[in-house]
A and B are shown apart, each in its own frame.
Chain A
């Protein structure tokens, strides 16, 4: 099945806009839109976060996000899905990722949105380095 017209994928250096994502999942057939917004938090364990540096393997990351959106469409009755991810330097409070899923009923929207962010974190080739006030670390690199 072709899901292309249901899917909006963005990987950008520019700040993410919630209203752009909501517009992308507009559908008269949907009775529910679930939105996940991932933001930069000011601490990891006890360390103070100054900023996060995100980098991506752009061509593959976009492809993996497309595959992921298609997978979500296969598993839930998705009317529209958007996955927008930021890269570059982000500061506390900035939005790193927005996922929105529109479905006829809310249960599917909740489940599909959770699946999409959980899987994105495991498969999409994007990396973040946490810069603390006393050092820096590539997140998840070491066991």
Chain B
């Protein structure tokens, strides 16, 4: 399946675009996506944390991803 992943902050700088079209096997979960992205973009390893948001909520361990989900990569937040 092909996911459209929204990128913010330092992850946008690392990957070099605002939106990433990314191929994953059907049934892939949130942790699979993190693992694959870290392999594709090793600089993600340097970050304090890399979280995935699915449909505007923090993704859970084991949560299965679907092609029509709104997926975003969430680097360490720094609001306030």
A residues with a Cβ closer than 8 A to B are: 38, 54-57, 59-61, 63, 85, 96-97, 117, 120-129, 138-143
A60-B56, A142-B48 given; A123·B10 CB < 8 A: no
Residue in contact with B46 in the complex, picked from A124, A125, A142, CB distance below 8 Å:
A142
Q: Is the CB of B72 within 8 A of A121?
A: no
Alpha-carbon gap, A123 to B74, bound state (A): 10
Task: Give chain B residues whose Cβ lies under 8 Å from the Cβ of A97.
Answer: 79-80
Chain B interfacial positions (CB closer than 8 Å to A) = 6, 8-10, 13, 46-48, 53, 56-57, 72, 74-80
Complex Cα distance, B76 from A16, in Å, reads 24
Identify 27 residue pairs between A and B in the complex whose beta-carbon atoms are under 8 Å apart, listed by A's number: A38-B80, A55-B8, A55-B9, A56-B79, A57-B6, A57-B8, A57-B72, A57-B74, A60-B53, A61-B79, A63-B56, A63-B57, A96-B80, A117-B80, A120-B79, A122-B77, A124-B77, A125-B53, A125-B72, A125-B74, A126-B78, A127-B78, A129-B9, A139-B78, A140-B76, A141-B9, A141-B78
What residue of chain A has the Cβ atom nearest to residue B6's Cβ?
A57
Complex CA distance for A127 and B74, rounded to whole angstroms: 10
List the B side residues contacting A138 at CB < 8 Å: 9-10, 13, 75, 78
Nearest B residue to A122 via CB reads B77
CB distance from B50 to the nearest CB of A (A): 10
Q: Which residue of B lies closest to A36 (CB)?
A: B80
Contacts of A117 in B (CB 8 A): 80
Residue of A57, A60, A85, A141 touching B47 (CB-CB under 8 A): A141
Asked whether A127 and B56 contact (CB < 8 A) given A38-B80, A55-B9, A142-B48, the answer is no
| Complex alpha-carbon distance, A29 and B78, angstroms | 34
Residues of chain B within 8 A (CB-CB) of A59 are 56
Additional A-B contact list (4), CB under 8 Å, known A96-B79, A124-B77: A124-B79, A127-B75, A127-B78, A138-B13
